[in-house]
Structure 1
Amino acid sequence: MTPPPPPPQSTTVRYISDCLIKPHRLPPHSDRPRHLAPWELAMLAVHYIQKGLLFPFPPHCLDPGFDRPAFIHSFLDKLKRSLSSALSHFYPLAGRLATLKHTDPPLHTVFVDCADSPGARFIHAALLDMTVADILSPTYVPSIVHSFFDHNWAVNHDGHSLSLLSAQVTELADGVFIGLSMNHTIGDGTSFWLFFNSWSEIFQAQEKGDVDVVQLSRPPVLTRWFPENHPGPVSLPSADNPSSFHPHYRVPDLRERVFHFSADAIASLKAEANRQCGTPNISSFQSLTALLWRCITRARCLPPSQVTRCRVLSNNRARLDPPLPPEYFGSPVTMLRAATTAGELLGGGLGWAALLLHALVAEHGNAKVLEWNEEWIKSPQVYRLDRTFDPCSIIMSSSPRFNMYGNDFGLGKAAAPRSGCANKIDGKVTSYPGREGGGSIDLEICLSPATMASLEADAEFMAAVTDL
């Protein structure tokens, strides 16, 4: 089957308006500095989180006599009002980063300054010669999607001057894209989608009644967590030049493609991985990750002795003792690394690779989390895209457990999630739930053009991919 032609890339997004949205009201003591934990400070040199949802217009919005300008005006007003209410619950997102410098010893403390918060940014943009199908139909994600987000290429340290949250609403010919850019020191993927879900919940509540501040079903927990033996602010060695936080690397030429895996296909992978290892303990996602690691490594044609790594971002809320609540609003994530050689990975089989990943995750408990924090405090360092990742490895991000399709802004269920240009490297894999639910998963994979072509020709990989 010949794929449809890509939409014209000469089209550009037109920016219509831009404003700052402040919280409708602020709770007591919201002006106090919010200090960052070690795993949040470690994020200062990586990009913002950029995720969004594509919503087709309901059929009546496409009728010839429909008053689209009035509809869009009302829709934007509702989004702004509900965003203001959401920021009342998530008020740190309306602040900015600030740095307190110390001279003896030469250190600096980065924190969230919520006093007299400037607000979150809200942008209205349009690309009226592009349709929802133009975004979803091409084999590869059109690069124009990156223009649906604000703060492109900004690193989290830029939150000293940039908004910590930016919402961009881009009109298409027959739908809208709502893209959020959130500073990664403020929240991880769990926090990002908790905010998105809360914004949607407030929007729906305000549609039903004239209320400004809505009581959320899952309010965020804003109390900060720090290691027990280091409860105060954590400082970094002084860096007088802010540009030192910007990675120095050439933007890679990547192909981005979303592959769909049905619940049945994933169940088959899980069954096969457990059969090969003689255990029932390997999870569905570990099995899928093992398949991906093996097939991308094969597509890269690495020599057998080449070391390859699979990096997985770990949500540490439930791994602490006592655990943090699921609604903890912060970025308590660390990176787990499984390493082997290309020869061992490809020679060991699916189950062998899945068991390696399972052991990595299983041993990552409270002791490991506390050890990571202690080591970081002794020798603080930030993740950098130009140093942390290598072209022989893959990194798994986001989660198919996030509630992406439960968001409703009066337009019904989203057609698909998409991400911006942030943190895109060769081997980056972003996980989404499949639209039909039931345990299905979509993987957005970023690879060099040559590696992507080889992956698409890999029989083992494509046998697990399910056509929609």
Structure 2
Amino acid sequence: MGPAMLSLNYIQKGLLFTKPSAVNDPQNFMTTLLDRLKDSLALILVHFYPLAGRLATKREENPPSYLVFVDCNNSPGAKFIHTAADMTISDILSPIHVPSVVQSFFDHDRVVNHDAHTLSLSLLSIQVTELLDGIFIGCSANHSIVDGTSFWHFLNAWLEIFYAQEKNTSISRPPILNRWFPDGCGPVVSLPFTHHDQFISRFEAPILRERIFHFSSESIAKLKAKANAECNSNKISSFQALSALVWRSITRAHCLPHEQKTICGLAMVSGIATAGELLEHNLGWAAWILHKAVVSHTDKAVRGWLESWLQSPVVYQLGLFFYPNNVIIGSSPRFNKYGNEFGLGKALALRSGNAHKFDGMVSCYPGREGGGSIDLEVCLTLNSMSTLESNPEFMEAVSISS
């Protein structure tokens, strides 16, 4: 739902690589790498051409109408940045909490998607940051144009072009650019506004700590077995069990009043309980709430939600949509993230920018070793993070943390 995302931030995800040491001419290596990245980026944008455009608007006063679209003609294209930082891989990975300098590895810091009306703000920006012994490739993409699935699809396809011979521009899985609407809706969505000030807000999170917690496939399997045993069921998935642990643990870290309602949001579905109910019951009880939310997310429910939104469009506000004291679990461990090597070998780690960071935000990544392992990027206030790190139930399930 592109228009609904206009007041949210760009997606900012990136990969940290080791800089090859066995090269005769390091400067020439970087020049060659940058040229290959730029050339292949230009070619992949032939397929993902909306990412080379800018946003534009048509509006009417009576009745109020605000129509946002991608203009691929009046645009200087996507952006490619090369910069350097006087630091090492260890400076990034050694601290227990993710250092704030990582935010500088991404372009479009703190902008909202609607800002891409400005010609200086591209819909897509690639920033290559050269460390003393490493290379960070950060990608910022407008969240009104791409979601997580299409974001990683783009990166995977870019890699395919990067490795292609003779500048072959074909890719195995082209993007689907045709728009779809339910019967009787579309083909355009006009927002009921006359000016962007009526639906754009800018959210600034409190001071946060950010930490990566690693869960091995064995640890997750134990959580799944425990949750199913407690529910006398075999239907709770690995991810539902892990999400239930996170929901309970962060709710405990937030020290909420017993009667305070708390929500665990999983992309398009949510589980709801009071803090008291959540913490008085066991892991399986919380996992079953999430399981019921997932199985109720049927084709009929999705179509009903979409038709309702199209009848009365709203633009999500980060400060309001993500209510305080809730847990939002985003991204996905199923995306092919570590498969993007760009001739540098497997990445050492995944990291994200400042976008969509707030107290209770959790992003899911596949573990580097694969096999069903998962990394969770958890953002909490200082006191809440300290409480989480002191929670035996949570920390005993963590295999490695960094």
Query: Shorter chain as normaliser: what TM range?
Result: over 0.9
State whether structure 2 residue 183 is matched by structure 1 residue 225: no
- How far 1:246 moved relative to its partner? 3.8
**For 1:430 and 1:250, how far apart are their aligned partners in 2?**
18
Aligned residues of 1:42 and 1:383 also touching (Cα < 8 A): yes
Deviations along 1:435-466, whole A, 9 cap, x unmatched?
00000000000000000000000000001000
State whether structure 2 residue 223 is matched by structure 1 residue 269: yes
Specify the alignment match of 2:385 in structure 1: 452
Aligned residues of 1:155 and 1:245 also touching (Cα < 8 A): no
TM-score by length of 2: 0.97
**For 1:368 and 1:123, how far apart are their aligned partners in 2?**
43
Which of 236, 239, 258 is the equivalent residue of 1:285?
A: 239
State whether structure 2 residue 193 is matched by structure 1 residue 238: yes
**For 1:411 and 1:248, how far apart are their aligned partners in 2?**
37
**For 1:447 and 1:96, how far apart are their aligned partners in 2?**
34
Aligned residues of 1:48 and 1:155 also touching (Cα < 8 A): yes
Aligned residues of 2:92 and 2:98 also touching (Cα < 8 A): yes
State whether structure 2 residue 252 is matched by structure 1 residue 298: yes
State whether structure 2 residue 84 is matched by structure 1 residue 134: no
Specify the alignment match of 1:216 in structure 2: 171
- How far 1:297 moved relative to its partner? 0.7
State whether structure 2 residue 134 is matched by structure 1 residue 175: yes
Aligned residues of 1:47 and 1:423 also touching (Cα < 8 A): yes
Specify the alignment match of 1:33 in structure 2: none
Specify the alignment match of 2:289 in structure 1: 356
State whether structure 2 residue 14 is matched by structure 1 residue 55: no
- How far 1:276 moved relative to its partner? 0.8
Which of 92, 95, 102 is the equivalent residue of 1:145?
A: 102
Aligned residues of 2:155 and 2:340 also touching (Cα < 8 A): yes
Letter in 2 for 1:125: T
Letter in 1 for 2:136: F
Specify the alignment match of 1:9 in structure 2: none
**For 1:245 and 1:72, how far apart are their aligned partners in 2?**
43
Specify the alignment match of 1:370 in structure 2: 303
Deviations along 1:208-259, whole A, 9 cap, x unmatched?
x222x4211221111111122203101001242x344442444310000000
> Per the alignment, in what secondary structure is the counterpart of residue 89 of structure 1?
coil
Which of 183, 189, 197 is the equivalent residue of 2:148?
A: 189
- How far 1:116 moved relative to its partner? 5.0
**For 1:45 and 1:155, how far apart are their aligned partners in 2?**
6
**For 1:263 and 1:428, how far apart are their aligned partners in 2?**
22
Aligned length: 399
Specify the alignment match of 1:417 in structure 2: 350
Aligned residues of 1:204 and 1:408 also touching (Cα < 8 A): no
Letter in 1 for 2:158: W
Moved more, 84-93 or 94-103: 94-103
Specify the alignment match of 1:75 in structure 2: 33
TM-score by length of 1: 0.83
> Per the alignment, in what secondary structure is the counterpart of residue 339 of structure 2?
coil
* RMSD of Structure 2 on Structure 1 (CA): 1.3
> Structure 2: which 5+ residue stretches go unaligned?
none
Letter in 1 for 2:161: I
> Structure 1: which 5+ residue stretches go unaligned?
1-38, 314-334
Letter in 1 for 2:224: K
- How far 1:265 moved relative to its partner? 0.1
Letter in 2 for 1:178: I
Specify the alignment match of 2:81 in structure 1: 123
- How far 1:389 moved relative to its partner? 1.6
Q: Moved runs in structure 1, 4+ residues, more than 4 A? A: none
> Per the alignment, in what secondary structure is the counterpart of residue 202 of structure 1?
helix
Specify the alignment match of 2:337 in structure 1: 404
**For 1:239 and 1:466, how far apart are their aligned partners in 2?**
52
- How far 1:366 moved relative to its partner? 1.1
**For 2:348 and 2:197, how far apart are their aligned partners in 1?**
38
> Per the alignment, in what secondary structure is the counterpart of residue 266 of structure 1?
helix
Specify the alignment match of 2:125 in structure 1: 166
State whether structure 2 residue 336 is matched by structure 1 residue 382: no
Distance 1:168 1:248, change over 3 A: closer
Deviations along 1:73-110, whole A, 9 cap, x unmatched?
11111100000011011001001111111233121111
Aligned residues of 2:54 and 2:71 also touching (Cα < 8 A): yes
**For 1:136 and 1:450, how far apart are their aligned partners in 2?**
22
